[in-house]
Amino acid sequence: MPKRGYHHGNLRQALIDAALELIEVRGPMGFTLSEAAKQAGVTPAAVYRHFEGREDLIAEGALQGYEIFGDLMEYAYQNGQPSALEAFSATGRAYLAFARKYPGHYISMFESGISINRTPELAAAAARANGVLEKAATDLSQHIPAEKRPPAPMFSAHIWALSHGVVELFARNSPGRASPFPADDLLESGIGIYLRGLGLIEPDA
């Protein structure tokens, strides 16, 4: 069923929204530009006035996703202040929340094969989001003795990888794979184990 009509001047966003809906249901390679046009309620020719091909449309969805993601990460970081521990933990939780609330964007960003270096704008948006987690890791790592302190980029990369793994394996309803525990609990406990290993949480906390 075609999407509702768009307001004049809003065709570009209507096409992006349509593509995100199709991506959520069919995956990034499971739709055509013609189908995105139909979903948006316009003719296929209209798509080419804004996008050269499907990858351009997906990349725009990824760009908007990274912008939303960066905002959510920054909000989580600020909301956890003044506790460096809570600010850091909150950014990990924000990753899971984003994947749940914006699945079309998430897939465009992380499962479409679109390079973050496809455009300078996309690279900048991705770097900004990563920068928030690295900033939180830098703050928290100041509580670790210098001789035991991992580099902040490594610290943040570990949590990013843990968050991404929980999302991909247990929060995206992968066919045939049931989570042994709620994804939130898996992520929270995993971050806790990691932080205990660094001496940032007491063993009995």
Question: Are both 111 and 189 inside the same structural domain?
Answer: yes
Same domain? 8 vs 95: no
pLDDT tens column, 97-114: 999 999 999 999 999 999
CATH number at residue 46: 1.10.10
Which parts of 43-182 fold into alpha helices (H)?
44-47, 54-79, 84-101, 103-110, 120-141, 152-166
Q: Report the pLDDT value the prediction gives residue 122, as an integer from 0 to 100.
A: 95
Is there a single domain that holds both residue 141 and residue 191?
Answer: yes
CATH number where 142 lies: 1.10.357.10
Domain identity same for 169 and 69? yes
CA distance 186 to 182: 6
More confident residue, 205 or 88: 88
- 75 and 159 co-located in one domain: yes
For residue 49, the model assigns a pLDDT of 82
* 105 and 162 share one domain: yes
Contact 114, 55 (CB under 8 A): yes
45 token code pair = 């020719």
Looking at the fold, whether 69 and 120 belong to one and the same domain comes out as: yes
Q: Report the alpha-carbon distance of residue 76 to residue 94 in Å, rounded.
A: 6
